[in-house]
Amino acid sequence: DVKVTQSSRYLVKRTGEKVFLECVQDMDHENMFWYRQDPGLGLRLIYFSYDVKMKEKGDIPEGYSVSREKKERFSLILESASTNQTSMYLCASNPGDRGNEKLFFGSGTQLSVL
């Protein structure tokens, strides 16, 4: 089975801190995604990557950046955390071939910014 691993289940950070959320997948998938999940809003796409060092903005990229230096790892960076970034963050991946859009999700990181 595909495994998508997010390094932390819970994180508590202070306003203004730089925050790194890490995600690793073990199935050589081309595409990786970061979503945030908020009650009543569902999942919203922050950024995605379709290859090493390649990235595209999603629907809500403001306040975030990403890094993909290796195929299996996709990092989400909050340059200066703010309280409105308190949320559940979900990483996902898929193989990348057309018609194979099934996403494999990690278990999520619940980030609280105080």
Partner 1 sequence: AQSVTQPDIHITVSEGASLELRCNYSYGATPYLFWYVQSPGQGLQLLLKYFSGDTLVQGIKGFEAEFKRSQSSFNLRKPSVHWSDAAEYFCAVGAGGYNKLIFGAGTRLAVHP
Q: Under the rule (CB under 8 A), what is the footprint of partner 1?
A: 31, 33, 35, 40-45, 48, 50, 56, 58-59, 90, 94, 96, 98-103, 105-108
AA letter at 41: L
For residues 79 and 101, which CB has a smaller minimum distance to partner 1 in the complex? 101
| CB 92, CB 79: distance < 8 Å | no
Nearest approach, Cβ of residue 18 and partner 1 (Å): 26
Nearest approach, Cβ of residue 27 and partner 1 (Å): 14
CA distance 89 to 9: 10
How many angstroms separate the Cα of 79 from the Cα of each of 6, 51, 82, 85? 19, 23, 9, 11
Nearest approach, Cβ of residue 80 and partner 1 (Å): 27
